[in-house]
Amino acid sequence: MNKNAVYLIGIGGIGMSALARYYRHCGLFVAGYDKTKSTLAQELENEGMFIHYADDVSLIPEICKNAENTLVVYTPAVPKEHSELNYFLSNGFNIVKRSEALGLIAGNKHTFAVAGTHGKTTVSTLLAHILTVAGNGCNAFLGGISKNYNSNLLLSNSENLVVEADEFDRSFLQLFPNAAVVTATDADHLDIYGNVEEMRKAFAKFVSQIKPKGTLIVKKGIEIELPKTGINIYTYSYDEPCDFYASNIKLHDDGYYGFDIHLPNLIISDCKLGVPGRINIENAVAATALAWTSGAGMQYKLRDALASFAGVKRRMDVQINTPKLTYIDDYAHHPEELRATIMSIKNMFAGRKITAIFQPHLYTRTRDFAEGFAKSLSLADELILLDIYPARELPISGITSKIIFDGVQCGEKILCEKNELLNIVEKKQFDVVITLGAGDIDLFVEPITEILNKKLNSQYQNINRNE
């Protein structure tokens, strides 16, 4: 790239921050704006990037005001009236969306793209880990923080690149991968597509962009129009026989699973994934399928890679796990994701009381899927439901968390504002509790963990006194 500076508008987002780290690694001056000083944004500052948190053109570093030498990258979540974005638009800068920037980087690599309305982050992070441990290494732009590498960016000398192919804003159409997996095509982002049929047309266009003689792995039974010729197509499933699937699935006492993975003409037996949850077996099959078709690893190397996978922050992320109290945090924010997560946890902890704390994400998603949210949340024994996190959206008349709340059929349910949550957690007794959502509910994970650990310590002290 013939630039020496990059300015990112929305730099603290999970996808944008990975780009920022990549450009910094390439030796460029990196600066940017974000609305809030998140933990991730602070990490970028600590890594030598210059970030401010007010929409103010005067705060843009002088080096980034040279149009010839600066690339400007922005996220679609930035409003059109943003003054810094309009400054760059009005002054002849080279401006690209995040997806375009990623597409330019991917164009020079052997690209593995992970697409689907659910599971992208876990599958892509696990795929990157498998290629690192059992293959020839990889670079990776991840939609979450890998707990193995404590980053959302992996760098190596390999030509392999793992990316999440995001359907939001049709971002994945900037990619022309060598290999891809599609995990799900359930309705989502209807504010962008209008209806599920248009969304699935975009998925069909994406898979048609796989390079000739490339590979496509699709979950068996999903609705997607497949390319007629030119690429190799395989199916995968949780445990339904097809090209890649799991069998001999056994739940261990610690909530982790053992299983065998079936590949064409081969079985990798005695696998154990390093993260808990039934849904992650399916994710492991998808990642293993894409790695295997690329030529990664012998059987024992693949088995070792699965066992050493530490997971992704906010994806079935276990904070506390004792016989008396368990706390798990998860990013699930779509009805199908909620259903899969809650059912996984119910299977892991059969007979225990499950409390879900959920923050809906976006007014449009709440409006479009209120019935589905209510049905999935009814799988819990108890619900604490927060206000909607608006993200990029303005309020919609009549759309509040109550339209979900009224439809939930579970033993106990509470509707509360964010500032009431910690007081409720202080007062209640829990068995298994899950925080769920894609908004700022992650800010509560640490204080909830502290409160619950204090409750645990108090219980143990009482037991010791009674003895």
Find the CATH number of the domain harbouring 231. Answer: 3.40.1190.10
Tell me the C-alpha to C-alpha distance, in Å, between residue 213 and each of 165, 177, 179, 288.
Answer: 19, 11, 9, 19
Distance CA 406, CA 388 (A): 15
Do residues 293 and 359 share a domain? no
DSSP state of 127: H
- Is 88 in contact with 71 (CB distance < 8 Å)? no
Residue 331 within a domain: yes
Residue 174 within a domain: yes
Structural domain range at position 163: 107-307
Range list of β-strands (E), 136-222: 139-146, 151-154, 160-165, 179-182, 215-219
Do residues 130 and 251 share a domain? yes
DSSP state of 194: S
Query: Three-state DSSP class for 418?
Result: helix
pLDDT at 1: 65
CATH number at residue 331: 3.90.190.20
Q: How many structural domains is the chain composed of? A: 3
Using only C-alpha atoms, what is the Rg of the chain?
A: 22
List strands edge to edge, sheet with 257-263: 245-251, 257-263, 266-272
Do residues 84 and 203 share a domain? no
Say how many CA atoms lie within 13 Å of 4 toward its Cβ: 6
Residue 328 within a domain: yes
Do residues 293 and 275 share a domain? yes
pLDDT at 461: 58
Residue at a domain's end among 274, 307, 340: 307
Do residues 240 and 201 share a domain? yes
Alpha helices in 54-152 (DSSP H): 83-90, 98-106, 120-134
Do residues 303 and 157 share a domain? yes
pLDDT at 87: 97
Residue 241 within a domain: yes
SS (H, E, C) 256-286: CEEEEEEECCEEEEEEECCCCCCHHHHHHHH
SS3 content of the chain, % helix, strand, coil (to 5): 40, 25, 40
Residue at a domain's end among 281, 307, 333: 307
Do residues 271 and 291 share a domain? yes
- Is 415 in contact with 359 (CB distance < 8 Å)? no
Q: Which of 120, 127, 136 is nearest to 288 (CA)?
A: 127
∠ CA(338), CA(290), CA(134), 5° rounding? 110
List the helix and strand counts (H, then E) for the chain: 14, 21
Query: Three-state DSSP class for 443?
Result: helix
Do residues 93 and 111 share a domain? no
Do residues 346 and 415 share a domain? yes
Residue 102 within a domain: no
Do residues 193 and 226 share a domain? yes
Residue at a domain's end among 286, 307, 328: 307
pLDDT at 145: 92
Please give the average pLDDT of every successive group of 10 residues along the chain, which has 467 residues.
Answer: 90 93 95 90 95 96 96 90 96 95 93 94 96 92 94 94 92 95 87 89 96 96 90 97 97 86 93 90 96 83 94 90 92 91 90 96 93 96 96 90 95 94 95 94 94 83 54
Do residues 285 and 337 share a domain? no
Residue 230 within a domain: yes
Identify the H or E element spanning 402. helix 402-405
User: Which residues, other chains included, contact 95 with Cβ-Cβ below 8 Å and sequence gap of 6+?
Assistant: 72, 73, 74, 85, 88, 89
- Pairing verdict, β 94-97 and 110-115: unpaired
Q: pTM for this one?
A: 0.85
- Is 161 in contact with 111 (CB distance < 8 Å)? yes
CATH number at residue 44: 3.40.50.720
Residue 312 within a domain: no
Do residues 225 and 117 share a domain? yes
Residue 359 within a domain: yes
pLDDT at 392: 77
